[in-house]
């Protein structure tokens, strides 16, 4: 499946302007759609994804061939690749969103003023949401389904590496919408690889785009934050830490650290830095470092880490700031909890950080003082996922502080309005 050929910037503007207008029109329809209509559409979309398995996997095979020819990393390939099991998981995620409570129309607050006015704050859709993402084709389904459940239309811009796969998934979802009597324009993939389309989205599509969600590397997010003329749900890199406190159980620490780093190295919840408290370094450091190395993970560490296992390479200042998304981890010994907190504040990205300890007081300090969207005690950072939170899926992990933070699910894809009922009151 090839993209439209666009050689003139004006042609892209025409294409994107039309896409925005059609999405705005569709958003009005889905904003008023009932819960059962939206759920029927979600189930129909899941069914269409399943029925198009061969076409979607064939498109993915073409994307994979191109990625391998370009020498993409194994971690990149892992993010891109689909097989029948992964595609079924995508369909199941779409279905699971149908089972979630409808976030639209929720009464968030209700109160009465002394003059008798009855005031309600009620959840409403955001409108048209633009999602710009790179290599993960599952984002097409997750983002589209979440936006629909929250009564929004979605304009999805896939990276060139996943373009064919994402297009095939989006086409299946559009068919599912039409089967359920909702407009296919409610979920559309930008039909071109041309990067000018990103600029058009950042400009707001003539006022037809209400929110931008970037899902990708640091350079993409930085560009979106710098150029966007509409609000942004920022999804920054996952510079995630596991801090093994002095009171950590060694077996638990080994299990958590190995899972946090190696379960899937290419996801944003993967641990990138291991911090070990000096109080337990004598007993915990060598087993942890050797375990990672034996599992095929490269370790870049400070002098103490290198002394614990000669296979560890020296860490540079840049390593503490690097999201590897690969089987690589930086590691160091810290003096105490205060030092761990200072390291995370200095080098972290406010995404996901975990402490391993049997000391409840230390754990509570960590949970209170680490300023990240997700903070864990005695659990793997790989739980940084909307599905694991019971949200069905996620449109991203928001690391900012406004409106949405952490996994962005259906509730975070709504705004609100005030409904006021009176009995003839006027203001004096």
Give tens-digit pLDDT for 19-69: 999 999 999 999 999 999 999 999 999 999 999 999 999 999 999 999 999
Q: What are phi and psi of 324, to 5 degrees?
A: -75, -40
Cβ–Cβ under 8 Å, residues 295 and 262? yes
Please give the residue that has the higher pLDDT: either 87 or 2: 87
CA distance 168 to 62: 12
The number of beta carbons lying within 10 Å of the beta carbon of residue 32 is 11
With a cut of 90, say whether residue 3 has pLDDT above it. Answer: no
Contact criterion met (CB below 8 Å) for 270 and 261? yes
Find which of 2-11, 224-233, 272-281 is predicted with most confidence, using mean pLDDT: 272-281
Instruction: Please give the share of the chain, as a percent, with pLDDT higher than 90.
Output: 79
Cβ–Cβ under 8 Å, residues 148 and 30: yes
Instruction: Flag the least confident range among 154-158, 218-222, 302-306, 383-387.
Output: 218-222
Q: What is the pLDDT of residue 5?
A: 45
Residue 12 to residue 72: CA distance in whole angstroms = 28
| Residue-level pLDDT at 1 | 43
pLDDT for residue 368 is more than 60: yes
In the block, tokens 């754990």 appear at: 363
Q: What was the pLDDT predicted at 223?
A: 86
Structure-token pair, residue 232: 């942004």
Bridge partners (DSSP) of residue 112 are: 118
Please check the confidence at residue 385 and state whether its pLDDT lies above 90: no
Reduced to 3 states, what is the DSSP secondary structure of residue 208? coil
* Residue entry with tokens 């009151």: 425
Residue 390 CB burial class (10 angstroms; 0-12, 13-18, ≥19): exposed
* Block residue for tokens 């998981």: 89
Residue whose structure tokens are 């705004």: 415
The reported pLDDT for the residue numbered 270 is: 96
Residue range 213-224: mean pLDDT, rounded? 80
Query: Is 173 in contact with 186 (CB distance < 8 Å)?
Result: no
Q: Which residue has the higher pLDDT, 365 or 73?
A: 365
Domains and CATH numbers, the chain: 10-236+407-419 (3.40.605.10), 241-383 (3.40.309.10)
Tokens in use for 192? 């071109």
For the chain, what is the mean pLDDT?
93
Residue 119: its H or E element: strand 118-125
pTM: 0.80
- Can you tell me which residue has the tokens 């400070």? 302
CA distances to 81, 178, 239, 357 from 304, in Å: 38, 61, 22, 21
Question: What are the pLDDT digits (tens) for 185-212?
Answer: 999 999 999 989 999 999 999 999 999 9
Q: Rounded to an integer, what distance in angstroms lies between the CA atom of residue 252 and that of residue 272?
A: 18
pLDDT at 2 over 50: no
* Residues 139, 124: Cα–Cα separation, whole Å: 23
């Amino acid at each position: 499946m090839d993209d439209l050929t666009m050689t003139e910037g004006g042609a892209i503007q025409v294409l994107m302007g039309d896409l925005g207008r059609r999405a705005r029109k569709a958003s009005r329809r889905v904003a008023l759609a009932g819960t059962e209509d939206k759920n029927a559409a979600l189930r129909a979309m899941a069914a269409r994804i399943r029925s198009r398995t061969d076409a979607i996997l064939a498109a993915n095979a073409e994307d994979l061939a191109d990625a391998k020819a370009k020498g993409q990393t194994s971690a990149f390939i892992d993010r891109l690749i689909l097989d029948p099991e992964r595609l079924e998981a995508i369909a199941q995620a779409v279905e699971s969103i149908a089972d979630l409570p409808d976030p639209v129309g929720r009464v968030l607050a209700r109160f009465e003023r002394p003059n008798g006015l009855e005031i309600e704050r009620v959840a409403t859709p955001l409108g048209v949401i633009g999602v710009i993402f790179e290599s993960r084709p599952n984002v097409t389904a997750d983002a589209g389904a979440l936006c629909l459940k929250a009564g929004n239309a979605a304009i999805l811009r896939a990276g060139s590496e996943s373009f064919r796969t994402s297009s095939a998934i989006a086409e299946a979802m559009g068919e599912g919408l039409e089967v359920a009597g909702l407009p296919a324009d409610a979920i559309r993939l930008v039909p071109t690889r041309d990067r000018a389309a990103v600029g058009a989205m950042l400009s707001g599509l003539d006022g037809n785009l209400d929110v931008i969600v970037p899902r990708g590397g640091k350079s993409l997010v930085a560009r979106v934050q710098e150029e966007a003329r509409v609000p942004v749900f920022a999804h920054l890199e996952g510079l995630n830490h596991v801090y093994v406190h002095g009171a950590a159980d060694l077996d638990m620490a080994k299990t958590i650290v190995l899972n946090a780093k190696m379960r899937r190295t290419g996801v944003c919840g993967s641990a990138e830095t291991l911090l070990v408290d000096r109080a337990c370094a004598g007993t915990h450091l060598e087993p942890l470092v050797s375990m990672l190395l034996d599992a095929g993970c490269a370790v870049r560490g400070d002098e103490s880490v290198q002394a614990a296992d000669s296979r560890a390479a020296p860490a540079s200042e840049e390593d503490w700031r690097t999201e590897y998304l690969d089987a690589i981890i930086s590691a160091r010994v810290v003096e105490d909890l205060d030092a761990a907190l200072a390291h995370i504040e200095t080098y972290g990205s406010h995404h996901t950080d975990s402490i391993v300890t049997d000391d409840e007081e230390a754990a509570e300090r960590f949970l209170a003082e680490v300023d990240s969207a997700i903070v864990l005690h005695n659990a793997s950072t790989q739980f940084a996922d909307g599905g694991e939170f019971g949200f069905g899926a996620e449109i991203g992990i928001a690391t900012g502080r406004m409106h949405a933070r952490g996994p962005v699910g259906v509730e975070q894809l709504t705004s609100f309005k005030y409904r006021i009922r009176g009995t003839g009151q006027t203001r004096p």
